[in-house]
Structure 1
Amino acid sequence: MTNKPKNIGTAAETAITRTAHTRGFPNARRLALTGNKDQGDIQLTPNIIIEAKAGHTAENASDTLITTWLNQTHTETHNHPTATIGFLVTKRKGHGHTNAHNWWAHFHHTTWAQLIGYQLPTTANPHAIIRTTLDSALALLQAAGHAEDTARDVLPSVPAQEQVVA
């Protein structure tokens, strides 16, 4: 007997991971379940995790449910041994798995502010959530220096004394 919710989650996690691979995060990978101390669904980089939600519930999620899931993501980020950033990705209605780059990415506003280097005023709403596409979220993470430098893994390093100065 198949487990339909698990299959939906696996398909969504795979779609998000494949999208990340094409957008500067070649080492993104799905994470194994870790029991009651869940550490997220996807490790984008050693310090960034993603919680993924798909299916009809995700496509029609209320603001309250998004907040609940984002709080769950925050807890999972703290459960992960190296993660300092976590965000939620939800499947959008009408956007299939080959268009995961158009799915919603949700961040606590404090995480978003940290990524863009902005110091929030103490009067900021502690419950504010930022929503953007996964594509835009990955671009922001790249701009903030979180994308993996694949060039260093491909190109041989040149010792300092052998570098040519023009």
Structure 2
Amino acid sequence: MNKSGQLGTKAESAVVKVLTPNGFPHCERRRLRGANDAGDLTGTPGICWSVKGGEMSRTASDLDVQRWLGELATQMGHAKADVGVLVVQRKGVGYDNAHRWWAIMPACQIVALSTVGISGGPATFPVRMLLGDAVTLLRAAGYGQPTAEDDVAIAEQMLPAGVEVLPPYHAGAA
């Protein structure tokens, strides 16, 4: 097995050690399935897991995470899973502390899961996201004030097909 495969095996095994005593007793590493990749772990019905460990994960960029989430979406289809979880090893957090690695899911999944409730009260644990995504979420919920781009988008929706909205004229602008 190559070094990348060894790191993957080690990271996947670390996540299995977290899941098995925490409600997923049948969780285990999945055998490779080639083009029909259904995630890295099995034995957790309805959930597809993609695990990233080693230096690549500890230094992952936003683009890496987006690419991995795209791959996870494909794997979810192959696994016929309702939920997908991307697990990414954090810098400075070793295999024995995999419970502290990042678990990344699309916001729509987090919303759906949070409405189910957690025994003892509402979900109050932190959810990490990019500031830009938080602003988009807040604006979609009606917070903030309209921007010039919003005004143009609204005007475009109200005009008949084929009519173009020009940007506002600003005196002194070149």
TM-score (norm 1): 0.67
Count residues in correspondence: 119
The alignment partner of 2:39 has SS state of coil
Counterparts of 2:114 and 2:61 in 1: how far apart (Å)? Answer: 27
The structural deviation recorded for 1:17 is 0.4
The structural deviation recorded for 1:53 is 0.5
Cα deviation digits, residues 23-71 of structure 1 (max 9, x gap): 2211111111111110000125111111001111100101111011011
- 1:42 is matched with 41
**2:17 matches 1:7:** no
- 2:100 is matched with 102
Counterparts of 1:110 and 1:29 in 2: how far apart (Å)? Answer: 27
Cα deviation digits, residues 85-113 of structure 1 (max 9, x gap): 11100111111111000001000011111
- Tell me if structure 2 keeps the 8 A contact 1:105–1:131: no
- 1:117 is matched with 115
Moved over 2 A (4+): none
- The answer to which structure has the higher strand fraction is 1
The structural deviation recorded for 1:131 is 3.9
- 2:29 is matched with 30
Counterparts of 1:17 and 1:44 in 2: how far apart (Å)? Answer: 10
Counterparts of 2:75 and 2:38 in 1: how far apart (Å)? Answer: 4
The structural deviation recorded for 1:22 is 2.1
- Tell me if structure 2 keeps the 8 A contact 1:107–1:131: no
TM-score (norm 2): 0.64
- Structure 2 residue runs without a partner (length 5+): 117-126, 130-174
Note closer, same or farther for the CA distance 1:131–1:87 as it changes in structure 2 (3 Å cut): farther
Counterparts of 2:78 and 2:50 in 1: how far apart (Å)? Answer: 13
1:5 partner amino acid? S
- Structure 1 residue runs without a partner (length 5+): 119-129, 133-166
Bigger radius of gyration, 1 or 2?
2
Query: Structure 1 vs Structure 2: percent identity of aligned residues?
Result: 36
- Tell me if structure 2 keeps the 8 A contact 1:44–1:50: no
Higher relative contact order (CA 8 A, sep 6+): 1
1:50 partner amino acid? W
Counterparts of 2:39 and 2:4 in 1: how far apart (Å)? Answer: 16
2:5 partner amino acid? K
Counterparts of 2:41 and 2:128 in 1: how far apart (Å)? Answer: 19
Counterparts of 2:45 and 2:24 in 1: how far apart (Å)? Answer: 11
The alignment partner of 2:38 has SS state of coil
